[in-house]
């Protein structure tokens, strides 16, 4: 529970009275709450919270997976026992959450997909899908991905590679093996990014910058047309580049990603999991901005009180 904006120290565990369901609502027992940078950015910024329609007092997190444990009397499309996942902005890190049965962030978890895979997917998966669409990269083209090993980057990189796109993925040297495991060629981010890309001897066709603007600037400098350069978190992106958000993902994008997971064509890398009582530690690790893949809170029966 967050009662004032500030920092993670202001976040605490609280017992919330369980409200009766509205007629078309379902109650989900949360199994996994995946963490994203925007979660702690909201804690630190009332302006960002407001942009998402949030204000204190509020909960924490967005991504979740779990099981429906109760349905309202008018619910038609869901039933108790359904495994579900998705996004509930500002309240996913809780023992239970309530959502309307038609909530756009409520999806069925397919057989063959674990709660852990589904519970970290919502923001990173939608964003990676939207970036793929915006890049419109073709087989054989080389694309530079800045922060290829992060939550968004680890999914985006695999999606591009499976389409036959050559990916140069930036990371710290400590992440190079991980970036290689995603199918990309690693290059170090930092002041020498442009030189490092040149040293690879490739012609860049497109770029996705998932960490500020340095990758986007390098790509433009290297001759990539700005309309083929995509950013997701830039306040002042280079002129003519394309800003993409997770909300730009096509309907059904997450279901298509999970179909790839079921077929073994996509991994959803999770760097570490934490119990709910270790939420501050989990958020601190995620906030370090050096996570490979995702970080998740895993809830147990005892968290439900
Ligand atoms: N617009 C949207 O809808 C949207 C959606 C999702 C995310 N975002 C934003 O996009 C950003 C990425 O999200 P995410 O979930 O992928 O974050 P993340 O998981 O925290 O990203 C971590 C990655 O960033 C890399 N990194 C750290 N410093 C870097 C630098 N200076 N240059 C390049 N890479 C660096 C790290 O590599 P090393 O570990 O090797 O250092 C690590 O792999 C966040 O700021 C997030 O808020 C926006």
| More confident position, 10 or 223 | 223
What does the DSSP assignment read for 199-268? HTT--EEEEEESSSSHHHHHHHHTT--GGGEEESS-SSPPTT-EE--GGGSPTTHHHHHHHHHHTTS---
pLDDT of 304 over the 70 cut: no
Residue 301 — pLDDT band, cuts 50, 70, 90? Answer: confident
For range 270-292, the mean pLDDT: 96
pLDDT value of position 16: 85
* Chain segment 243-269, per-residue pLDDT in tens: 999 999 999 999 999 999 999 999 999
Nearest CA among 156, 257, 162, 256 for reference residue 211 = 156
Q: Looking at domain 8-121+268-304, does it have CATH number 3.90.1530.10?
A: no
Distances (CA, A) of 116 to 123, 150, 203, 255: 14, 17, 38, 15
Q: Is 126 helix (H, G, I), strand (E, B) or coil?
A: helix
Q: Which tokens belong to 24?
A: 């078309």
57 cis-preceded (ω within 30 degrees of 0): yes
- CATH of the domain spanning 124-248: 3.90.180.10
* Chain segment 167-179, per-residue pLDDT in tens: 999 999 999 999 9
For range 24-46, the mean pLDDT: 97
Residue 282 — pLDDT band, cuts 50, 70, 90? Answer: very high
Q: What are phi and psi of 21, to 5 degrees?
A: -75, 145
pLDDT value of position 300: 87
pLDDT value of position 1: 87
CA of 79 to the centre of ligand 1 (A): 37
Q: Is 166 helix (H, G, I), strand (E, B) or coil?
A: strand
Ligand 1: which atom is nearest the Cα of residue 152? 16
Q: Which tokens belong to 120?
A: 């970290």
> Among residues of the chain, what percentage have pLDDT more than 70?
99
**Which residues surround ligand 1 with Cβ inside 6 Å?**
36-38, 123-124, 127, 146-147, 149-153, 170-172, 174-175, 189, 210-211, 214, 232-233, 245-246, 289-292
pLDDT of 303 over the 80 cut: no
* Chain segment 89-139, per-residue pLDDT in tens: 999 999 999 999 999 999 999 999 999 999 999 999 999 999 999 999 999
Rounded Cα distance between 139 and 255, Å, is 23
pLDDT of 51 over the 80 cut: yes
Ligand 1: which atom is nearest the Cα of residue 293? 19
pLDDT value of position 110: 97
95: number of CA atoms within 13 Å, CB side? 13
Rounded Cα distance between 269 and 257, Å, is 13
Ligand 1: which atom is nearest the Cα of residue 172? 40
pLDDT of 302 over the 90 cut: no
Exposed, middle or buried, 222 (CB in 10 Å: 0-12/13-18/19+)?
Answer: middle
pLDDT value of position 305: 58
Pocket test of ligand 1: the residue of 211, 212, 219, 283 to mutate, having most ligand atoms within 8 Å of its CB, is 211
pLDDT value of position 234: 77
CA of 57 to the centre of ligand 1 (A): 27
Locate the domains of the chain by residue range.
Answer: 8-121+268-304, 124-248
Nearest CA among 66, 62, 63, 59 for reference residue 80 = 66
Is-same-fold flag (8-121+268-304; 124-248)?
yes
Nearest CA among 165, 162, 100, 105 for reference residue 135 = 165
Averaged confidence pLDDT in the chain: 96
For range 274-283, the mean pLDDT: 96
For range 144-158, the mean pLDDT: 98
Say what the pTM is: 0.97
């Amino acid at each position: 529970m967050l009662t004032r904006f500030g920092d993670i120290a202001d976040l605490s565990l609280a017992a919330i009275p369980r409200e009766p369901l509205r007629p078309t609502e379902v109650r989900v027992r949360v199994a996994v709450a995946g963490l994203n940078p925007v979660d702690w950015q909201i804690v630190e910024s009332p302006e960002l919270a407001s942009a998402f329609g949030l204000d204190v007092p509020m909960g924490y997190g967005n991504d979740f997976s779990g099981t429906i444990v109760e349905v309202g009397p008018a619910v038609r499309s869901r039933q108790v026992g359904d495994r579900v996942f998705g996004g509930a902005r500002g309240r996913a890190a809780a023992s239970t959450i309530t959502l309307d049965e038609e909530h756009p962030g409520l999806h069925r978890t397919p057989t063959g997909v674990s709660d852990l895979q589904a519970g970290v997917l919502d923001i990173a998966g939608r964003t990676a899908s939207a970036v793929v669409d915006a890049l419109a990269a073709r087989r054989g083209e080389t694309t530079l991905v800045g922060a290829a090993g992060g939550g968004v980057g680890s999914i985006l990189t695999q999606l591009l590679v499976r389409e036959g796109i050559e990916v140069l993925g930036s990371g710290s040297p400590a992440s190079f093996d991980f970036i290689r495991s995603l199918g990309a060629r690693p290059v170090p981010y930092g002041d020498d990014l442009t030189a490092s890309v040149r040293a690879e001897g490739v012609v860049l066709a497109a770029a996705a910058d998932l960490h500020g603007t340095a990758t986007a600037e390098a790509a433009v400098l290297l001759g990539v047309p700005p309309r083929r350069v995509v950013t997701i978190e830039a306040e002042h992106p280079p002129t003519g580049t394309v800003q993409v958000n997770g909300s730009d993902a096509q309907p059904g994008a997450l279901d298509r990603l999970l179909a790839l997971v079921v077929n073994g064509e996509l991994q959803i890398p999770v760097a570490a999991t934490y119990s709910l009582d270790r939420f501050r530690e989990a958020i601190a690790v995620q906030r370090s901005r050096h996570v490979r893949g995702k970080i998740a809170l895993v809830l147990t029966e005892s968290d439900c009180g």
